[in-house]
Structure 1
Amino acid sequence: MRVGYTTIFQGGGDPADDQRVYTDELRLCDLAEPLGFEMLWGVEHHFTSYTMCPDPVQFLSYMAGRTKDILLGSGAVILPWHDPVRVAEQVTMLDLMSGGRFIFGMGRGLGRIEFEGLRVPMDESRARFVESAEIVMRALETGVLEADGQYYQIPRRDLRPQPTKSFRDRIYAAAVSPESVRIMADVGAGILINPQKDWQEVSEDMRTYRQQFRELKGTEAPAPMVTGWVCCDEDPVKAKDMAQEYIGAYYESVMSHYELGGRHFANTQGYEYYRNLASYIQNKGSSKVVDNFIELQIYGTPDECYERIVDIRSKVGNDGFNAVCSFSGMTHEMAEANMRLFAEKVMPRVKQLPAVDFAELEAAGAQS
């Protein structure tokens, strides 16, 4: 299994602290390749301290010049917020500058504050995503930009510089809801799983995705990649306390940024899953949702962290795991210790995990 490191640049309440956040996070990113991580991922978010990386391609271009071999992944570029011409150009340029190391991850977005601030109707995210994804993916394979769609009309133009290496096996899309999973099968992308619901539910989503991918594309779907929030310590009590404090605080920031308990989902097209989640939070309160999120993540001693990753793999069949080791106001020293312990005592064992047999995975799912 491939193992990556994901940085999210999570800030706090004081904007004066943003420079320190960037300094500390970039120091951790500089450690990723020397510690043996095979991938480095950046995310895209706007307008709040939830994660302060509005341009993952710019961030990864910076890291391309500071690294040699590590793969560089966007997790993800939110297509409805961008001109697909510019996305295709930026992706190609980064891939050429990095020597073909870029993994292109894309998404359709969820935060109302971001859609409104970027002046894109949230109701249109599904259709915009599909249309834009088709334009970008076709351009990356053919070197030609062209479209006559509902949202994007692009006269035929050459993509220059020309892509020199196929992205066919290097395109992923972030998906949580069943609606998004089906869309990603339609566009032929692999899945980036950001855990927010029971792993058995995710397993069922992946089974549907693989079936739809076969029907639409005539081939097997790529194995997904999983991102997990890590609290690793030799002391199991300390690790659990870290998880309760830091992973719990992270999910509280998720609920705040995305307004997960908000009533706006009831009137927003394409977000049916979040409509149900909002109703659940309104009726049950947020504490149970936070507790559930913590249990989906990777915390404990190195052995316990490894076992959690193996258990996830047995359910969803991922061939990659991306660790988030710095979040929710951890000190730099704590985040670095967390990252180093994971890299030293968990990552080597995870890398040795063999490829998943999807026939066995499907059979196991049918029996459960």
Structure 2
Amino acid sequence: MRVGMTMFFQNYADWDRYEARERGQTDEMLDPRSDSTRYEEELEVALAAEDQGWDSLWTVEHHVSPYTMIPNPVQLLSFVAGATSRIDVGTMVVVLPWHHPLRVAEDITSLQYHLRGRTPYIGFGRGAARREFRQLGLEMGESRARFDEAIQVIKLALTQESFSFHGEHYRFDDVTMRPRPRDPQALIDNFHFSWGSPSSAPIGAKFGLKPLIIPQRPWDDYHAELEEFGRARAAAGFAPARPRIHMNVFCGETEQEAEEGARRYIPQYADSARRNYELDGDHFAQVKGYEHYAETKAAMDAAGGAAKAMGDAYLANHVWGTPEQCVQKMTRIAEAFRAEEFMLVMRYGDMPRDVAARSTDLFAREVMPVIQALPVQEPLTYGAAVGV
């Protein structure tokens, strides 16, 4: 199996000030050093990942809030490509409704060249944060239609020297993208899709994208979603595909150290996600294509509120413990889903640099080699899926 590191670059400590300013309750300005310090520290760790034995470096896309400070994942990965020589890279995800699709095709083509023979794994998604759509000047309710058109345009731009496309949101007549990709099919074969609501799973699958799981629900729920995903891929003529799986990790020398760290920092990440997506808001019920989030809010309210429900869910889903415990959980997940790769975020919330370094070093030394030695199995054919 492959094991990758995910770069998040969070400024969790700024959320209270940020939200108060957003509500007009304070004029306090951000000390820019808090962003730059976190950015520089985590970039240093990422650039050491190649020598530490990680197979890949991944990153995300978000805008305007302290959630993750990475507005252009392909730009960051292009820098990584030039600063490394062995490691592959991936996005989880490029949010297609936020971009002009021809520019996305150009950017990932350039990334393929920058990697000099290494592999870019490009994950795509629709986005679900109201403030990000608003501040980018886009309608959230258009995201599904824009996604559908954008992925078609990208595939045409990569595979056809000249193409035309007439959609509701994008129109092209006899357009050529340059430079031409060195291997367009290799790019397309490594396109992935991440979804937030169960009904969205087939959206990317029908275009041949492979599954990328960012767990937000109990693990067993994903078997049904992957079954729908596989059905949509098959209907479009694509073979079964193994998923790539993202998780948060906290590794400690002792059970006590691991539990204390996990119970402090993993709920902070969940809280940051809740705040970024405004998951305890009432707006989802009025946005086309996001009705599932309104249903999720009602369920979280019944479970004690979004903050508690998400914190509990992330502690249950993600990986923490001693090295032996981390190996056991990751092995169960790998076997249950026949995973292709894990992409792991090692620093999140207000986790200090030294705490993250100890956890990361221990994981890389004692857990990662064991997981990398696991055999990659054939994709599941659903019907007798084994739970985690």
Q: CA deviation at 1:15?
A: 4.2
Residue identity in the other structure for 2:155: M
Instruction: Using the aligned pairs only, state the percent identity.
Output: 34
User: 1 CA distance for matches of 2:386 and 2:38?
Assistant: 46
Q: Does 1:158 align with 2:172?
A: no
Q: Which residue of 2 aligns with 1:222?
A: 241
User: 2 CA distance for matches of 1:54 and 1:366?
Assistant: 37
Q: CA deviation at 1:350?
A: 0.8
Q: Which residue of 2 aligns with 1:98?
A: 115
Q: CA deviation at 1:355?
A: 1.9
Q: Which residue of 1 aligns with 2:2?
A: 2
Residue identity in the other structure for 1:44: E
Q: CA deviation at 1:307?
A: 1.2
Q: Secondary structure at the match of 2:105?
A: helix
Q: CA deviation at 1:147?
A: 1.5
2:385 paired residue among 346, 355, 365: 365
Q: Which residue of 2 aligns with 1:345?
A: 366
8 Å CA contact retained: 1:200, 1:315 = no
8 Å CA contact retained: 1:206, 1:316 = no
User: 1 CA distance for matches of 2:240 and 2:145?
Assistant: 22
Pick closer, same or farther for the CA change 1:319–1:271 going to 2, 3 Å. Answer: same
User: 1 CA distance for matches of 2:156 and 2:253?
Assistant: 48
Q: Which residue of 1 aligns with 2:24?
A: none
Residue identity in the other structure for 2:5: Y
Q: Does 1:233 align with 2:242?
A: no
1:43 paired residue among 49, 52, 60: 60
Q: Which range moved further: 107-116 or 180-189?
A: 180-189
Q: Secondary structure at the match of 2:194?
A: strand
Q: Which range moved further: 279-288 or 153-162?
A: 279-288
Give the superposed CA RMSD.
1.7
1:259 paired residue among 278, 287, 292: 278
- TM-score normalised to structure 1 length: 0.95
Runs of 5+ consecutive residues of structure 2 not aligned to the other structure = 15-29
8 Å CA contact retained: 2:214, 2:246 = yes
Q: CA deviation at 1:34?
A: 0.5
8 Å CA contact retained: 1:265, 1:278 = no
Once the two structures are superposed, what CA deviation does each residue of 1:159-212 show, in whole Å capped at 9, x if it has no partner? 100001121321112223212211011111011111110000011111221122
Q: CA deviation at 1:145?
A: 4.7
8 Å CA contact retained: 1:261, 1:277 = no
Q: Does 1:178 align with 2:195?
A: no
Q: Secondary structure at the match of 1:75?
A: strand
Q: Secondary structure at the match of 2:247?
A: strand
| Within-5 A mapping of 1:281-296 | 281-284=300-303, 285-286=305-306, 287-296=308-317
8 Å CA contact retained: 1:199, 1:316 = no
Once the two structures are superposed, what CA deviation does each residue of 1:283-333 show, in whole Å capped at 9, x if it has no partner? 331313311221100100111111111222233221100110011111111
Q: Secondary structure at the match of 2:175?
A: strand
| Within-5 A mapping of 1:29-178 | 29-100=46-117, 101-165=119-183, 166=185, 167-178=187-198
Q: Which residue of 2 aligns with 1:18?
A: 35
Once the two structures are superposed, what CA deviation does each residue of 1:115-170 show, in whole Å capped at 9, x if it has no partner? 00111100010111111011112222334453210100112221100001121321
Q: Secondary structure at the match of 2:132?
A: helix
Q: Which residue of 1 aligns with 2:324?
A: 303
Q: Which range moved further: 315-324 or 114-123?
A: 315-324
Q: Secondary structure at the match of 1:226?
A: strand
User: 2 CA distance for matches of 1:236 and 1:367?
Assistant: 24
User: 2 CA distance for matches of 1:288 and 1:366?
Assistant: 25
Residue identity in the other structure for 1:140: L
User: 2 CA distance for matches of 1:250 and 1:190?
Assistant: 26
Q: Which residue of 2 aligns with 1:207?
A: 227
Residue identity in the other structure for 1:343: A
Q: Secondary structure at the match of 1:227?
A: strand
Q: CA deviation at 1:363?
A: 4.5
Q: CA deviation at 1:367?
A: 10
8 Å CA contact retained: 2:219, 2:387 = no
Runs (4+) of structure 1 exceeding 6 A deviation are none
8 Å CA contact retained: 2:123, 2:194 = yes
Q: Aligned pairs, how many? A: 366
8 Å CA contact retained: 1:179, 1:270 = no
Pick closer, same or farther for the CA change 1:158–1:239 going to 2, 3 Å. Answer: same
8 Å CA contact retained: 2:223, 2:382 = no
8 Å CA contact retained: 1:81, 1:120 = yes
Residue identity in the other structure for 1:207: E
Q: CA deviation at 1:70?
A: 0.6
User: 1 CA distance for matches of 2:163 and 2:269?
Assistant: 39
User: 2 CA distance for matches of 1:289 and 1:147?
Assistant: 41
Q: CA deviation at 1:259?
A: 0.6
8 Å CA contact retained: 2:248, 2:319 = yes
Once the two structures are superposed, what CA deviation does each residue of 1:247-302 show, in whole Å capped at 9, x if it has no partner? 01110111111011111011111112212111122333131331122110010011
Q: CA deviation at 1:342?
A: 1.1
Runs of 5+ consecutive residues of structure 1 not aligned to the other structure = none
Once the two structures are superposed, what CA deviation does each residue of 1:206-262 show, in whole Å capped at 9, x if it has no partner? 122112211222x32321100110000111111111111100111011111101111
User: 2 CA distance for matches of 1:126 and 1:188?
Assistant: 16
User: 1 CA distance for matches of 2:240 and 2:173?
Assistant: 32
- TM-score normalised to structure 2 length: 0.91
Q: Which range moved further: 111-120 or 131-140?
A: 131-140
Residue identity in the other structure for 1:296: N
User: 1 CA distance for matches of 2:98 and 2:230?
Assistant: 28
